[in-house]
Amino acid sequence: MLSHHNTINTLNITTDKQFKCDFNNCKKSCKSKSHLNDHKNRVHLNVRYVCDWSECHKQFTRQWEVKKHKSIVHLKEKPFKCDINNCGKLFSQKNNLNNHKRVHTGEKPPVRNNKLNLMCDFNDCDKCFEHNSDLQKHMKRHMNIKPHKCNDCEKGFVTTGELRKHRNRIHLSENILYDIHFMKHNIMSIKYNFEGKVVLITGSSSGIGAAIALLFARSGARVVVSGLNGDDISCVAHECSQVSPMAYKPLEVVTDFRIEGDIQRLVDTTVHTFGRLDILVNNAGVCLISKITDPDYIERQKALFDVNLNSVIKLTHLSVKHLTKTNGNIINISSVTGIQSYTASSVYCMAKAAIIMFTKCMATELADKGIRPKCSSHGIYITQLGK
């Protein structure tokens, strides 16, 4: 028979949070495996769920938020009905129904915390707050006072947090996605000045590379668009010339990054056309799923390394002498898979991890030449590569 002391210890063990995040020594405790996966997707992997209703494309951190958004905004569903005095008023959320019922019953909102000692008296609102700053923000909403203005669209907001969130979602487009026709409306509105700079972007015929090309073109740079598909290259080049302040026409080069001669031709054509090279963006890549037990694992590993890793090394090697003259930059596009392992993705993960280490080595090796290599490890994006 257990003693009282042992019983308490047993209860503490069973009620303790057993699921801990092991991503980059995070150690956050979660009460269930689903909460743990949700934490990893939102915080570490930067997974976003996108509303696919018409051309909405609004992003959310949780899947249930997408369903709720669809039902309220698009479907106009109002499943909650007030049954007091045959009112019959419909609401999209249960909280709104409960607040409405208090109008009939005359109840005050429940005070869930003893610290909520500040009450709003605007039109019998009676909402309680812990801090005076929160009460002041709430009062501004009643009086429609929005002191913080967006510089791009002049829309007003009560707090700087709401303004920042609006800019991130609408103007800055932190998660630039998906196809080029959507990207041109969501590309960053911050003004950069790259006038006179020559930027070579590999794999810029679609996806992330196309978004990078559009941003540099909009910032006044002369852009080199490269990839396998000539039609896609022409489409991106046309978009770049439209957003360019000086209407610069990008240089279009069809390149197979598995072939060393094509890589040499890409660099030579760029320097011959513009006379210089300021920024090299190594973005070209393929995604192959293969397990170590697959018969063709070695062949698939060699094919992926040729594009994702070897092309980065070759382009860097060929571009150093040109970047030294301009004190240029190298931007290598890696991935979160270079840090975190995934099932059946060992080949892709190894290549991305190698890019991260290669960038670190180049940063120390090329510092005396005035060249600044950087690496960007992205999360999961829905691009043509991902599809």
Active site residues: 348
d(CA 185, CA 178): 12
Residues 6 or more apart in contact with residue 362 via CB below 8 angstroms: 316, 330, 371, 373
Q: Which residues of 288-300 are buried (b: 16+ CB within 10 A; e: fewer)?
A: bebeeeeeeeeeb
CB 244 within 8 A of CB 218: yes
Report which DSSP code applies to 119: E
Nearest one of 244, 256, 314 to 282, comparing CA atoms: 314
Nearest to 385 by CA among 352, 359, 358: 352
Cβ–Cβ < 8 Å for 146, 157: yes
Q: How big is the chain, counted in residues? A: 387
Q: Distance (Å, rounded) from C-alpha 202 to C-alpha 311?
A: 9
Measure the CA–CA gap between 137 and 47, rounded to whole angstroms.
31
Q: Which DSSP letter does residue 345 get?
A: B
Q: CB–CB of 324/371 below 8 Å?
A: yes
Tell me how many degrees the CA angle 59-37-13 measures, rounded to the nearest 5.
140
* Gyration radius of the chain's alpha carbons: 27
Q: How far is CA 41 from the centre of its chain?
A: 12
Q: Can you tell me the distance from the alpha carbon of 66 to that of 157, in angstroms, rounded to the nearest whole number? A: 24
Q: What are phi and psi of 334, to 5 degrees?
A: -105, -150
